Structure 1
Amino acid sequence: MHTGPISQKLFATAKTMIPGGVNSPVRAFRNVGGEPFFVRRAKGSRITDVDGKTYIDYIGSWGPNILGHAPAVITNTIHEVAKDGVSFGIPNPYEVEMARTITDWVPSVEKVRMCNSGTEATMSAIRLARGFTKRDLIVKFDGCYHGHSDSLLVAAGSGALTHGEPDSAGVPKDFAQNTIVLPYNDAEALTALFEEKGELIAAIIVESYPANAGFVLPQPGYLDHLTSITRKFGALLIFDEVMTGFRLGKAGVQGLENLTPDLSCFGKVIGGGLPVGAFGGRADVMDMLAPDGPVYQAGTLSGNPLAMAAGLAQLKELNKPSGYARLDQLGLHFETGLRALMTEKGIPHRLNRVGSMFCLYFIDEEIRNVTDVLKQDFEIFNKFFWACLDKGIYLAPSPYETGFISLAHTEADLDDTLSVFSDALSTI
């Protein structure tokens, strides 16, 4: 359970200058009882650390690198665009093309605004929903993580859950009181809440497929229920598709489920690996944004030409016949092999997979929400994680995260991974 000496030295130095030695909590490896390695370079399906060890990577920068690491189509684009400047703070053609692409691909989005992160996108969508409805209350779901803005860091998943503190210090009680948290996949609880307070609720925000408590799928009809109840009470429905958007298909989960949220939040894939976010939806709602409307939102680097151009290059690759169909093919290959392996080993488990996103739980119970996720065997996960890392397979250093397959992965990569899994499971 040790990383190489150069990584250890870098981490020791980092801790003297950076809180926890990392710039995002989950990177600290606290949940698996060790220290992180530091990356020197990455290419295709593999990353290489500063000590020279190479791993098959199933994180892909936590989702954006859907083509794999450093694909030529993106690195060449960044190189060419950077020759003309890396930031202007003035409108540029790439942001218009990105807006056109998003509105063409996602039917619910009539207008869209760019920002710089998923946190900015969800924070701005919440402010917009409140401004449009003139209501204060927001509904979110336990285990769904929507970034670290004050209104949404309540009973959050992902990094906050990993450290056992789902509510962050520094969030005023008044902020938390305006955010109501319900269990995901509990339609009765949602109905009861709206019958009591529906006229006061501005919006529901939901990770349509929650991917910060592992990878949780909705019960049949649940997302339809969210749509119908918000329309009944005049609230807005916000789909957080920062992870699922443009990864599970051109229109994300809403395309797979044939749903029409009022607002949607995006990030990850549309930046080609560079910092990015976006939110969009109904034109009448989006027109409430400044400079046309009274809801203020701004960003110096929003619509950055490098991020827009890199994202467009990535989306064009995905739009080829070998794009999403190939990702689904790879995902199915991996799922089939992993299910067979887990059955052979006789280890209690659940596997959730859609397209190129997956999560293996060490529990043989249905996973409906974060309460079910918390029942799994964390000791087995920790042993499994380190056994895989030791043999060159990098999975998320937390049982609350989703795995990602990229177009750079091959069937041989997946089969090699399953072989390592087999060895790792034999030691448990």
Structure 2
Amino acid sequence: MQTDRSQQLFERARQRMPGGVNSPVRAFKSVGGEPFFVQRAEGACLFDVDGNRYIDYVGSWGPMIAGHNHPAVLEAVVRTARDGLSFGAPNALEVDMAETIARLVPSCQMVRMVNSGTEATLSAVRLARGATGRARIVKFEGCYHGHGDSFLVKAGSGALTFGEPDSPGVPKALADLTLTLPYNDFDAATALFDTAGDDIAGLIIEPVVGNANCLPPREGFLQHLRELCTRHGALLIFDEVMTGFRVALGGAQARYGVAPDLTTFGKIIGGGMPVGAYGGSRALMERVSPAGPVYQAGTLSGNPVAMAAGLAMLELVQAPGFHAALEAKVHALCDGLEAAAGAAGVPFSTQRVGGMFGLFFAPGPVDTHAGAVACDTAAFRRFFHAMLRQGIYLAPSAFEAGFMSSAHGEAEIDATIAAAETAFFAIRD
């Protein structure tokens, strides 16, 4: 596999960009080696600057649910761009987007567009604090909600341990307002609310964790959190940046039958463009400026080109049978990978929810952050590179979910499983 041009670009990038990248996981630090640089993408595949082709299970970290460069999305972007790239003023497409989200996700009676998932989660937490008059928020181990100060906190030794900043630059005083819980632990959640429930403004969670690999909720866990928040007057916030319109048409809240107070979106509603949104009941959202006192603004929010891309993507995922077909492909892939690992005698398991999946080098099932951390990350690193050499691109981290698209066909899935058969034996030896 030729890599000369990617290596040259990475060397240049490291001179002018921290770590040579504009987002940390791209640097391959957790798997070793150097990243490839993408030239173009089409359907289920990426093509790098050296001419190598990869079957892609990252999908730009989730938004490419219909595959890369889908003709309908591309046409919408080109058509809209001809009228201008940005206005900084209202446009009809942002109204269409708000109406579409409200129709597909009934808990969101009103929506505010922003420019990223991080903006969406920061804004939702500010609204929760403004609406309740409380300061503390609760998050879960392994759940990532963007790089806002309130979220860069790791768990302490117990449910009531104050969070410690996970990054320099995050004030300890702000971290003290963030409490952490272990994901899928009913008792710890109950104990936390029994002790501190009157001080909690909101609880934010990835209903299916996608940033500690792929961890589905245990039966009744999301319902339990809904009950705790209702009982103690806290707001339940679902971070559906990753799961929204991917694990079901109405997101994780539709799949599991739990209505949050606020929801954050991203990825698919941008169709590949940088977009985020948050929404909730009319009563809550009318607290946001200029209708209410909770301030939030964004010059490029509701950008017409991004709205056009997202609306085209949302139109595609509403096709009858879209999600059932996507989920069937995920099952075919994961079943094949588990069979290949079993034949090689490698401890390995998968998790899958809708169009998401996770790979764990440990006997399954793994459904907690502690379980994910305990997996054999060294084996994953070897597997990642063995697959990459065969033209299969998985997330370059043992703690990131994988994503299927409707563009992946039987040929791509079969090729992936065949590559895994070789890779599992290679890493075992």
Under a length normalisation based on structure 1, what TM-score does the superposition of the two structures give? 0.96
Is 323-332 or 370-379 further displaced after alignment? 323-332
Structure 1, residues 148-185: CA drift from partner, whole Å, max 9, x if none? 011111128xxxxxxxx980110001110000011111
Q: How does 1:262-281 map to 2 (within 5 A)?
A: 262-281=261-280
Structure 1, residues 246-274: CA drift from partner, whole Å, max 9, x if none? 11122110000011100000000000100
Q: Which residue of structure 1 lines up, in the alignment, with residue 85 of structure 2?
A: 86
Q: Which amino acid in structure 2 is aligned with residue 119 of structure 1?
A: T
Separation of aligned partners in 1, 2:327 and 2:358: 15
Secondary structure of the residue aligned to 1:113 is strand
Q: Which residue of structure 1 lines up, in the alignment, with residue 365 of structure 2?
A: 366
Q: Which residue of structure 2 lines up, in the alignment, with residue 188 of structure 1?
A: 187
Q: Which residue of structure 1 lines up, in the alignment, with residue 214 of structure 2?
A: 215
1:143 aligns with 2:142: yes
TM-superposed CA distance for 1:346, in Å, is: 2.3
Q: Which amino acid in structure 1 is aligned with residue 25 of structure 2?
A: V
Separation of aligned partners in 2, 1:356 and 1:218: 15
Separation of aligned partners in 2, 1:341 and 1:14: 38
Given that residues 203 and 238 in structure 1 are in contact (C-alpha distance below 8 angstroms), is that contact kept between their aligned partners in structure 2? yes
Is 367-376 or 8-17 further displaced after alignment? 367-376
Secondary structure of the residue aligned to 2:248 is coil
Given that residues 144 and 207 in structure 1 are in contact (C-alpha distance below 8 angstroms), is that contact kept between their aligned partners in structure 2? yes
Is 345-354 or 390-399 further displaced after alignment? 345-354
Q: Which residue of structure 2 lines up, in the alignment, with residue 115 of structure 1?
A: 114
Q: Which residue of structure 2 lines up, in the alignment, with residue 69 of structure 1?
A: 68
Q: Which amino acid in structure 2 is aligned with residue 22 of structure 1?
A: V
Is 239-248 or 358-367 further displaced after alignment? 358-367
Secondary structure of the residue aligned to 1:199 is helix
Measured at CA, do residues 322 and 365 of structure 1 come closer, stay the same or move farther in structure 2, by a change above 3 Å?
closer
Separation of aligned partners in 2, 1:366 and 1:134: 40
Structure 1, residues 341-390: CA drift from partner, whole Å, max 9, x if none? 22222221221011221111001143232111111111111110001000
Q: Which residue of structure 2 lines up, in the alignment, with residue 399 of structure 1?
A: 398
Q: Which residue of structure 2 lines up, in the alignment, with residue 311 of structure 1?
A: 310
Secondary structure of the residue aligned to 2:212 is coil
Q: Which residue of structure 1 lines up, in the alignment, with residue 130 of structure 2?
A: 131
Separation of aligned partners in 2, 1:325 and 1:376: 30
Under a length normalisation based on structure 2, what TM-score does the superposition of the two structures give? 0.96
Q: Which amino acid in structure 2 is aligned with residue 216 of structure 1?
A: L
Structure 1, residues 259-298: CA drift from partner, whole Å, max 9, x if none? 1100000000000100000000111111110001110000
Given that residues 216 and 353 in structure 2 are in contact (C-alpha distance below 8 angstroms), is that contact kept between their aligned partners in structure 1? no
Given that residues 332 and 355 in structure 1 are in contact (C-alpha distance below 8 angstroms), is that contact kept between their aligned partners in structure 2? no
Q: Which amino acid in structure 2 is aligned with residue 362 of structure 1?
A: F
TM-superposed CA distance for 1:64, in Å, is: 0.5
Q: How does 1:305-344 map to 2 (within 5 A)?
A: 305-344=304-343
Separation of aligned partners in 1, 2:311 and 2:396: 30
Secondary structure of the residue aligned to 1:61 is helix
Is 127-136 or 307-316 further displaced after alignment? 307-316
Q: Which residue of structure 2 lines up, in the alignment, with residue 46 of structure 1?
A: 45
Is 18-27 or 311-320 further displaced after alignment? 311-320
Q: How does 1:291-306 map to 2 (within 5 A)?
A: 291-306=290-305
Q: Which residue of structure 1 lines up, in the alignment, with residue 158 of structure 2?
A: none
Secondary structure of the residue aligned to 1:360 is strand
Q: Which amino acid in structure 1 is aligned with residue 169 of structure 2?
A: G
Q: Which residue of structure 2 lines up, in the alignment, with residue 167 of structure 1?
A: 166
Q: Which amino acid in structure 2 is aligned with residue 385 of structure 1?
A: F
Gaps of 5+ in 2: 156-163
Q: Which amino acid in structure 1 is aligned with residue 107 of structure 2?
A: S
Separation of aligned partners in 2, 1:120 and 1:285: 18
Secondary structure of the residue aligned to 2:375 is coil
TM-superposed CA distance for 1:338, in Å, is: 2.1
Structure 1, residues 312-362: CA drift from partner, whole Å, max 9, x if none? 111111111252222122122212322322222222122101122111100
Structure 1, residues 127-158: CA drift from partner, whole Å, max 9, x if none? 000000000000000110000011111128xx
Q: Which residue of structure 1 lines up, in the alignment, with residue 9 of structure 2?
A: 10
Q: Which residue of structure 1 lines up, in the alignment, with residue 353 of structure 2?
A: 354
Separation of aligned partners in 1, 2:301 and 2:348: 42
TM-superposed CA distance for 1:8, in Å, is: 0.6
Separation of aligned partners in 2, 1:166 and 1:344: 43
Q: Which residue of structure 2 lines up, in the alignment, with residue 20 of structure 1?
A: 19
Structure 1, residues 204-263: CA drift from partner, whole Å, max 9, x if none? 000000100000111111111100000000000000000000111221100000111000
Q: Which residue of structure 1 lines up, in the alignment, with residue 160 of structure 2?
A: none
Secondary structure of the residue aligned to 1:168 is coil
Q: Which amino acid in structure 1 is aligned with residue 419 of structure 2?
A: V
Given that residues 351 and 358 in structure 1 are in contact (C-alpha distance below 8 angstroms), is that contact kept between their aligned partners in structure 2? yes
Aligned residue pair count? 419
Runs ≥4 in structure 1, deviation > 3 angstroms? none
Gaps of 5+ in 1: 157-164
Given that residues 333 and 411 in structure 1 are in contact (C-alpha distance below 8 angstroms), is that contact kept between their aligned partners in structure 2? no
Given that residues 107 and 280 in structure 2 are in contact (C-alpha distance below 8 angstroms), is that contact kept between their aligned partners in structure 1? yes
Measured at CA, do residues 371 and 218 of structure 1 come closer, stay the same or move farther in structure 2, by a change above 3 Å?
same
Separation of aligned partners in 2, 1:6 and 1:200: 54
